[in-house]
Amino acid sequence: MTGTHRAIVRTGRTVSVAPRATVPPGAGEISIATVYAGLCGTDIQMLRGLRDDPATVIGHEGVARVVAAGAGVPEEYAPGTLVAVNPTHPTDPRFLLGHNVDGMFQERTLVPATAVLGGMVLRLDDATDVTLGPLLEPLAVVCYALGELAAFRPATLLVLGDGIVGHLAVRAAPGFLGPGARVVLVHHTAEGREFSERSTYRADLLLTGMGDTPSLDGPVAALVATPRDATVAALGSALVAGADVVDVVGGVPAGATARALPGVDLAAVRAANCGGVPEPARITTVGRVRLLGHRGVANRHLRDAATELARDPGRYRDLITHATDLDGAARVMRVLSRSRRRTVEGRRLIKLSVRIAEED
C-alpha cells in the first residue's frame, strides 16, 4: 500500500508543505530519505519564474539515506546507506534532479533507474558530516571549474558572482591554484560585499561591480558564477578586465552571444561539457581568449568536494547562513520568490540548509 510523506510543493510562483504519495521503488530504482538539502541559486530562479523547469518538488543538493531498493539495484545501495545523488546525467537529459525530476525537498525521493544504474548515486562514508551536505554539490562545481582553470596557471583568479559558488571558489582556490595566485571577488551588491568583508576567508581583493577594477596580473582566469540573466554581461566584464581564460558556470539563455566573441553560441559552449564528459573539457578559442563552460559535475568532483569538506570543514561551514526545517524552508522560499534581494531574517542568505530527516 502506498503511504504519504511531506514535501515542499510548487504551485505557480508559490510553495507550501503538502502530503505526497510515497511510491515504492520499482526495478532499478531506490527510495531515499533526505537528511539535509540545500537551496541553490537555480532553485531561487525557478521560484521567481525565471526558469520554466517542470519539477513540482525542487532541490538537487544534499545527502540522504537509502530507504528501499527495487529489484536489480546493486548491493552497495542497501537500506541505510548514506548517499548523494549527482543531479545531472551526462547522457540522459530525462534526469535532471529537481528540475525535470522531482527533487530532494521532501521526506522521500524516488531515484529512477537511469540514475541508479547509470552511476549517478554516490555512496558516502558513514563518517561524513551530514550538516555540510548542502555544500557538497556546489563545491563539486567549484572543484570542476578550478581544476580546469588551474591548467592555465593563472596569476589572478577573477570570480564574478557572490552567491554560494563564488564564495566557495574563493575559499577553495588556494588548494587548486597555489597560494601565489591573487583572488578577486566581484559582488553584485554592497550588501554582498559587506558579507565578504566580515569573512575570515576573504578574497585578496573585494569589488562591488567592475567599475573600479584595477590592473590584474596575468594570466587572468575568470570564473563566471552569476544568475542566468546576468551571465552575458558578467562575461563581457571579465573580457574587458583582460581575462585570458573564462569558465562559464552560470547559466545562459538559449542562443546567447557576447559582443566581444562574435559568432560564439554561449549556451552551446556551456553545454559542450556535461557531467564531467568529455575529459578533458572542450575549450573554444577566440583570438587570445579560451572559453569553456559546463553543466553539472562528475562523481569524481563530488568525491573531491567530500574530501575537501572533511579535510577543513571550518573553512566552509559559515557559508551555511540559514538553517531550518521543511516548514521554515517554505517560508524562506516564499520570501525569496517575491523579491530580488537575498536578505532573510535580516541577514544575507548565502546557503539555506534544510533538515528533513533526523539522524540518530
Residue 196's CATH number: 3.40.50.720
Whether residues 85 and 151 share a domain: the answer is: no
228 three-state secondary structure: helix
Whether residues 131 and 197 share a domain: the answer is: no
Whether residues 172 and 249 share a domain: the answer is: yes
Q: What is the pLDDT of residue 2?
A: 73
Under DSSP, the state recorded for 158 is E
- Using an 8 Å Cβ cutoff, are 85 and 65 in contact? no
Is residue 152 situated within a structural domain?
Answer: yes
- Using an 8 Å Cβ cutoff, are 260 and 83 in contact? no
Domain CATH number, residue 328: 3.90.180.10
Whether residues 284 and 330 share a domain: the answer is: no
Q: What is the pLDDT of residue 358?
A: 83
Whether residues 191 and 278 share a domain: the answer is: yes
Whether residues 233 and 161 share a domain: the answer is: yes
Which amino acid, 156? T
State the sign of the Cα–Cα–Cα–Cα dihedral 111, 75, 66, 89: negative
Q: Strands, E, within 3-124: which ranges?
A: 3-11, 14-22, 30-39, 61-69, 82-85, 109-111, 121-123
Whether residues 192 and 239 share a domain: the answer is: yes
Is residue 16 situated within a structural domain?
Answer: yes
Please give the Cα distance from 311 to 308 (Å, whole number): 5
Please give the Cα distance from 201 to 196 (Å, whole number): 8
Is residue 66 situated within a structural domain?
Answer: yes
Half-sphere exposure of 202 (CA within 13 A, CB side): 15
Residue 303 lies in domain: 3-135+298-355
pTM score, whole prediction: 0.97
Long-range contacts of 114-118 (CB under 8 A, 24+ apart): 114/89, 115/85, 115/86, 115/89, 116/28, 116/29, 116/30, 116/73, 116/77, 117/28, 117/72, 117/73, 118/89, 118/91, 118/92
Please give the Cα distance from 102 to 82 (Å, whole number): 19
Taking alpha carbons only, the member of 253, 222, 62 closest to residue 152 is 222
Whether residues 112 and 22 share a domain: the answer is: yes
Residue 354 Ramachandran class (φ > 0 left, ψ -120 to 50 alpha, else beta): beta
Total structural domains within the chain: 2
Q: What is the pLDDT of residue 360?
A: 61
Distant-in-sequence, close-in-space partners of 102: CB < 8 Å, separation ≥ 6: 7, 55, 56, 57, 109, 110
Of 293, 313, 346, at which residue does a domain stop?
293
Q: What is the pLDDT of residue 1?
A: 46
Residue 84 C-alpha from the chain's centroid: 13
- Using an 8 Å Cβ cutoff, are 286 and 264 in contact? yes
Whether residues 131 and 270 share a domain: the answer is: no
Please give the Cα distance from 258 to 261 (Å, whole number): 5
Query: Cα torsion at 85, 90, 95, 97 (round to 10°)?
Result: 40
- Using an 8 Å Cβ cutoff, are 186 and 192 in contact? no
Whether residues 277 and 259 share a domain: the answer is: yes
Of 251, 270, 293, at which residue does a domain stop?
293
Whether residues 174 and 206 share a domain: the answer is: yes
Whether residues 82 and 115 share a domain: the answer is: yes
Per residue of the chain (360 residues), give pLDDT as tens.
479 999 999 998 899 999 999 999 999 999 999 999 999 999 999 999 888 899 999 999 999 999 999 999 999 999 999 999 999 999 999 999 999 999 999 999 999 999 999 999 999 999 999 999 999 999 999 999 999 999 999 999 999 999 999 999 999 999 999 999 999 999 999 999 999 999 999 999 999 998 767 889 999 999 999 999 999 999 999 999 999 999 999 999 999 999 999 999 999 999 999 999 999 999 999 999 999 999 999 999 999 999 999 999 999 999 999 999 999 999 999 999 998 889 999 999 999 999 999 886
- Using an 8 Å Cβ cutoff, are 201 and 171 in contact? yes
Of 293, 312, 347, at which residue does a domain stop?
293
Is residue 360 situated within a structural domain?
Answer: no
